[in-house]
Amino acid sequence: MKKTFTINISGQIFHINEDAYEKLNIYLEAIGSYFGDTESRAEIMGDIEARIAEMFKAKITEHNQVITMEDVNLVIAVMGKPEDFVDAGQPYTPPPMDRADKTKRLFRDPDDRILGGVCSGISAYFGIDDPIWIRLAFVLMFFALGTGPIIYIILWIVMPPAKTAAEKLEMKGEAVNVSNIGKAVNEEAEALKKKINEFAENSKKIDTRDISEKARKVGDWLAKFILEVVELFIIAFGKILGFILLLIAVIFLVILIGFLIGHHFIFINEEHFLGSFHEFALFFFTSESQMQFAQVGLFLLIGIPILGLFIGGVKLLLGIRKKYRATGSIMSIFWLAGLIICGYVAFEISREFRAKSLYNYSIIPEQPQNQLLIVGLQDDAQNALHVGGRRRGFKFKADARQLLIAYPQIDVKQSDTDSFQIEFKNRSFGYDYKESFNRSRRIGFNYTQEDSLILMDTFFRIDKEDKYRGQKIMVTIKVPVGKSIEFAPSIKNALHNVENLDAYPDKKMAGKRWKMTREGLMLI
């Protein structure tokens, strides 16, 4: 059993045997007396203790928590004995070591840095005398690959700075012993003294009478330089912004003209449709003259702001600063005229939506023998144009005589009888009830039945003479209690608020079979 002590070396706590402690204490006192009362004594001793603490820490394991005499002897062998470098005042020359005894670590060099000392640290690690080659490599990576700054910042964060003399020795791959630490600290102290002396000598040569004049000239030059740089930046930014505005204006103007006059592609929700404003407008406006009136109004309402964008882009690009108030006033008048025209046309069309009517009729389809009715749509609406949002929008397409709108709204209810029934409600608006009712009667919609399969039209049809006035087809399929209905996958976009006991949303009800119970539809 041995007595142990707890010691603090360079801020780290170690447990050490009594005999090892006494030898280590004598060793440190001998080193301290060697450096005497020199200015750098405290720094040298701090670096030596930090190195000793690092070596002790490497010896501590889970099964060995105490520093022994062997550990102290190893430290003294690596760091050097005091009598070896005290003799005759000659610097200590450490005994030869294997490469394994020397440690070499990657640090940032704060003494030879331009930014963070990364390049000088790398050059010291690889033994390159001049760090300029490493700096040139980072510059080349910046221009060739654009990765130089990113790599530099990452290395700046990862690489620690070499703060102590021991760390600076490790950075260069030199042995970290008492002699080298003392030598490194003394060299740093001498370099600092030299810089202070040079600064003092240069200060004596400065003529204080010229300081204020030189400072004023430097300040004037710097202010002028900054103003010129800011002015160049503003001019360059203005020209770039002008070009962008000009490009946007041209693109929107081409789109507007193509929309109002010529054929064009319309892209909505990743779908496209080839057509023109004139082709579809004939199904909406009451007359050719009203449509042309709307075209003029839309062109002024949308085109005038685009023209203003175009003029602003040209002025920025060419550096024109003169303001033309007359041009702005004329453009404002034309834009206001477009707003009035569009408002008038919108008011006239809104009068066509004053009255709403429903045309109701029902059928009893051929009853399936297996008590299962399968309902689907005849085709899809992939080639139709989508207008509006996902919930309230609709798809449509047109030919020379009819406007085709998808989809019918299909709901399912419980039948009061033991037979399947289908009820249809055609909705439309008009100037008065008679007009809206006649328009709802003329909505075209068909279905076909083969055995238990019923296929309905995907599109309901509106004649060009009837115009589009909010027409809609609402279909209610009534299913008797105990009988079943199956929705084909093609019907998923037509199902509308179908109540079911399993709380399935409309689209997920498609492709499944449902049975009508007294409580409602149930998935089977």
pLDDT in tens, 130-188: 888 888 887 777 666 666 778 888 888 888 888 776 777 777 777 666 666 666 666 66
Instruction: Indicate if 313 and 457 belong to the same structural domain.
Output: no
Which range has the worst mean pLDDT, 238-242, 471-475, 496-500? Answer: 238-242
Q: What is the mean pLDDT of residues 332-341?
A: 95
Q: How far apart are CA 331 and CA 190, in angstroms?
A: 78
Which pLDDT value is given to residue 444? 95
322 and 332 both lie in a single domain: yes
* Lookup result for tokens 């703060």: 163
**What mean pLDDT comes out for the span 496-511?**
94
Could you give the percent of the chain with pLDDT greater than 90? 38
Note whether residue 360 is domain-resident.
yes
| Cα–Cα dist 151/67, whole Å | 42
Q: Give, for 508, the enclosing helix (H) or strand (E).
A: helix 506-509
- What is the DSSP annotation of 105-139? ---B-GGG-SSSSHHHHHHHHTT-S-THHHHHHHH
What does the alpha-carbon distance between residue 342 and residue 301 come to, in Å, rounded to a whole number? 8
Q: Give residue 208's pLDDT band: very low, low, confident or very high (50, 70, 90).
A: low
Please check whether residue 114 lies inside any domain of the structure. no
Assess whether 344 and 379 both reside in one domain: no
- The mean pLDDT value for 319-338 works out to 87
Per-residue confidence (pLDDT) for residue 508, from 0 to 100: 94
Least-confidence region, from 159-173, 196-210, 311-325, 422-436: 196-210
- Whether the per-residue pLDDT at 99 is higher than 60: the answer is no
Based on the domain organization, do 378 and 327 belong to the same domain?
Answer: no
pLDDT band with cut points at 50, 70 and 90 for residue 97? very low
For residue 282, is it within any domain? yes
Mean pLDDT of the chain: 82
Mean pLDDT value across residues 354-366:
95
pLDDT digits (tens, 9 = 90+) for 211-240: 667 777 777 787 887 888 888 888 888 888
Q: Which residue would you say has higher pLDDT here, 336 or 255?
A: 336
Please, are residues 262 and 276 in contact by the beta-carbon 8 Å criterion? yes
Same domain, 372 and 446: yes
What is the pLDDT at residue 197? Answer: 59
**Residues 151/138, Cβ–Cβ less than 8 Å:** yes
Give the pLDDT score at 101. 47
Cα distance between residue 479 and residue 473, in whole Å: 19
The verdict on 260 and 182 lying in the same domain is: no
Residues 397, 339, single domain; the answer is no
497 pLDDT tier (thresholds 50, 70, 90): very high
Are 446 and 374 contacting, i.e. CB atoms less than 8 angstroms apart? no
Which of 319, 352, 385 is the C-terminal boundary of a domain?
Answer: 352
Tell whether 471 is covered by a domain. yes
Residue whose C-alpha is closest to residue 426's, from 402, 399, 446, 401:
446
In terms of phi and psi (left: phi > 0; alpha: psi -120 to 50; beta: otherwise), the region of 146 is left
Q: CB within 8 A of 197, min separation 6: which ones?
A: none
120 part of a folded domain: no
Q: Show Cβ contacts of residue 182 under 8 Å, excluding neighbours closer than 6 positions.
A: 35, 40, 44
Question: Nearest-5° angle of CA 78, CA 79, CA 83?
Answer: 115
> Same structural domain for residues 364 and 484?
yes
- Residue 269 has a pLDDT of 44
**Rounded CA gap, 459 and 477, in Å?**
18
DSSP 351-384: GGGSEEEEEEEEE-PPPPTTSEEEEEESS--TTS
- 99 domain-assigned: no
pLDDT for res 364: 95
Q: What is the pLDDT of residue 192?
A: 52
Q: Which residue has the higher pLDDT, 101 or 120?
A: 120
Question: 318, 352, 386 — which closes off a domain?
Answer: 352
- How many structural domains is the chain composed of? 3
Range of the domain at 388: 354-523
Residues 366, 300 share a domain:
no
Q: Tell whether 370 and 414 lie within a shared domain.
A: yes
Classify residue 194: in a domain, yes or no.
yes
Query: What angle (nearest 5°) sits at the alpha carbon of residue 522, between those of residues 519 and 524?
Result: 150
Task: Report, in this order, helix, strand and coil percent for the chain, each rounded to 5.
Answer: 50, 20, 30
Is residue 393 very low, low, confident or very high in pLDDT (cuts 50, 70, 90)?
low
- Kindly report, residue by residue over 16-52, the tens digit of the pLDDT: 998 889 888 888 888 777 766 666 677 777 878 888 8
In a domain, 46, yes or no: yes
Number of helices (H), then strands (E), in the chain = 15, 19
Of 397, 110, 94, the residue nearest 273 (C-alpha): 397
CA distance 207 to 203: 9
Point out the domain boundary residue: 352, 385, 406.
352
CA torsion 382→475→502→520, rounded to 10°? Answer: -170
Q: Are residues 314 and 431 in the same domain?
A: no
The predicted pLDDT at position 98 comes to: 44
Residues 397 and 348 in one domain: no
Predicted confidence (pLDDT) at residue 88 exceeds the cutoff of 60: no
